[in-house]
């Protein structure tokens, strides 16, 4: 059985400013670094066969903190990046609501009705992320694997594993910075064991 520990990157400067990042980037805040260090301590007794990260800087920065001095093979995957948000990237939610009010309302509250124009679709994110998970499971069929990714990407993976429709994409719990979502894969079967846990912060 492959056990995936899916971690969202730590808090970034743009998270604090309520800016959407997508494929753009901003560095971790002091809080983001601190939370990643707390998660490193929390995971210290779990043996990982490999560590994977989105190729975005904030995810790679988080992964390096989590891995610490472990001697692990580390891989960076473009297909674990956040959803591409086109014209919205780098803008605050308030700015987006002024220029794309109806579209943003669908994105946030009615994801099944959201039609990607300048952005990537939720379906496309799901397809690339799940392809990557399946590829990793084939390579590590009996191991624990650490993965650092992003909120929407992790939500899309959860939705796919639970075989839910897109309209349930934003179902609680929220995927906080450095939260852990635990997914198991065995013989083509997927199981979600934990979603968005933050035990290391409690």
82 noted as active-site residue: yes
Hey, CA dihedral for 39, 41, 45, 47, is it positive or negative?
positive
Active-site entry in 11, 77, 82, 103: 82
DSSP output for 113-179: G---SSS--HHHHHHHHHHHHHHHHHH-TTSEEEEEE-HHHHHHHHHHHTT--GGGTTPSSP--TT-
Active-site entry in 9, 100, 150, 185: 9
Residue 27 and residue 57 in contact, taking contact as beta carbons nearer than 8 Å: yes
9 noted as active-site residue: yes
Known catalytic residues?
9, 82
């Amino acid at each position: 059985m492959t056990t995936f520990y899916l971690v969202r990157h730590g808090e970034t400067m743009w998270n604090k400013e309520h800016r959407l990042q997508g494929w753009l980037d901003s560095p971790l805040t002091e809080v983001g670094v601190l939370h990643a260090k707390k998660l490193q301590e929390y995971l210290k007794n779990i043996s990982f066969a490999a560590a994977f990260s989105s190729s975005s800087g904030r995810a790679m920065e988080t992964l390096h903190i989590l891995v610490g001095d472990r001697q692990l093979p580390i891989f960076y995957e473009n297909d674990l990046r956040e959803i591409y948000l086109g014209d919205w990237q780098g803008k605050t939610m308030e700015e987006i609501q002024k220029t794309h009010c109806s579209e943003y309302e669908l994105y946030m509250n009615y994801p099944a009705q959201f039609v990607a124009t300048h952005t990537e679709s939720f379906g496309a994110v799901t397809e690339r992320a799940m392809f990557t998970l399946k590829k990793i499971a084939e390579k590590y069929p009996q191991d624990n694997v650490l993965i650092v990714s992003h909120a929407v990407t992790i939500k899309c993976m959860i939705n796919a594993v639970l075989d839910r429709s897109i309209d349930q994409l934003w179902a609680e719990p929220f995927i906080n910075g450095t939260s852990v979502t635990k997914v198991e894969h065995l013989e083509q079967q997927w199981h979600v064991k934990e979603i968005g846990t933050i035990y290391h912060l409690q």
